[in-house]
Amino acid sequence: MKKQNNVYIAVFGVIALIIIAAAVSTLFFNQSAAPSTASLSLANLTNYGPAPNIVGISAWINSQPLNITQLRGKVVLVDFWTYSCINCIRTIPYLEALQKEYGNYGLVIIGVHTPEFQFEHNLSNVEAAVKRFNITYPVALDNNYSTWDAYGNEYWPADYLIDKNGDVRYISFGESPTSFNQTQQVIRELLENASYTPPSSLVDVKDILNFTQQISPEMYLGSQEIAQGRINYFSSEDNIAPGQNTTYQALNISMNDTIYLAGTWYSAPDSMIAVNNSRLFLIYRASRVNVVAGVSGANYSTIRITLDGNSVPSQELGGDASIVDGNAIVNVSSYRLYNIVSTQSYGWHTLEINASRGFRIYTFTFG
């Protein structure tokens, strides 16, 4: 789970919340202990008051404009997400499964896309992501954070469940089997209360998502991100000089979950940009490696990747990688998340990225 104010917080389970503002239209929520399964019956659900409307939307995808008022009588799930957030991406299959299971029984899912990075404001980028992830439910572009602020939201992903009367009855942040199962239980309770008869079958989280492995954490590479509270995963030998070209030497690549730079890189507030003979090394634990990346000052950039000192074999290539002349490469031409490695099992590996000029990397994420 990501927090908008640039502090990454891992939250396991669902968080019960209280309203702390009454005289204004904005909802503000405060975290407390996760509710027990027994407390999720309709009689025990907290009523957080009227849900704010979906406001300040610059565009809609998969739908005409919607608002909470017109959806009275339905059960509405408002999901705050952004397309380069791996935590959000991992929840999309579950949301699609809920859409398939309950979409004809009174559930309406609205994905409120509130951008984290500047490139996520672009409508065509979001449209491409919606197509790439096979999202079928409505998506609203909240580029100015209007709906985000109306809900007092701080996290990606965050889900708000709204009952037939338009009141917020349940809120959950992050991703975990517990939170997904509880969300589904509340959906069923609210649908029955709205006089719908949901199907007897349940969406099985275990069939969709794997939460059993410990993996490396998400890593941000922007100097401003680090200054504002993100953990610094760069090697202590790397002096990150904001707004400057700096030439690095990767002398002792030995520490887990640590980024080592070599060659010349430019340090932007939200990313690192390859300048000359730019390489990057990382010892990580995961099965899948993703980078949020784009290209600066060119139409495209190519990165060559090696794993444990060797070219990545074809069976372990990520979905965005290919073999060219015996090398594993990724062509980066747009701003999005790229899957570069996908090994058959979890484990520790050493990744090397050899980047052509203009390659711009924002984050590493793992799965």
**In whole angstroms, how large is the CA radius of gyration of the chain?**
22
Whether 213 maps to a domain, the answer reads no
Residues 157 and 179 occupy one common structural domain: yes
Residues 269 and 298 occupy one common structural domain: yes
Residues 125 and 227 occupy one common structural domain: no
Whether 306 maps to a domain, the answer reads yes
**Per the structure, how many domains does the chain have?**
2
Could you tell me the two tokens for 137? 């439910």
What digits encode the pLDDT tens for the residues 158-192?
Answer: 999 999 999 999 999 988 777 888 999 999 999 99
Structural domain ending residue among the three candidates 207, 240, 260: 207
> From first to last of its 367 residues, what are the pLDDT tens digits of the chain?
766 644 333 333 333 332 323 333 344 444 333 444 456 788 889 999 999 999 999 999 999 999 999 999 999 999 999 999 988 998 999 999 999 999 999 999 999 999 999 999 999 999 999 999 999 999 999 999 999 999 999 999 999 999 999 999 999 998 877 788 899 999 999 999 999 999 988 888 776 666 667 899 999 999 988 888 788 999 987 889 999 999 999 989 999 999 999 999 999 999 999 999 999 999 999 999 999 999 998 889 999 999 999 999 999 999 999 999 999 999 999 999 999 999 999 999 999 999 999 999 999 999 8
Residues 310 and 195 occupy one common structural domain: no
CATH number at residue 281: 2.60.120.260
Helix (H, G, I), strand (E, B) or coil at 147: helix
Residues 194 and 240 occupy one common structural domain: no
- The parent domain of residue 322 ranges over 219-366
Q: What are phi and psi of 337, to 5 degrees?
A: -90, 130
Whether 134 maps to a domain, the answer reads yes
Scanning the structure block, which residue is given the tokens 């794993």?
Answer: 307
HSE-CB at 218 with a 13 A cutoff on CA atoms is 23
Helix (H, G, I), strand (E, B) or coil at 351: strand
Task: For residue 93, give every residue at least 6 positions away whose Cβ sits within 8 Å of its Cβ, in sequence order, or none.
Answer: 208, 209
What digits encode the pLDDT tens for the residues 135-151?
Answer: 999 999 999 999 999 99
Whether 214 maps to a domain, the answer reads no
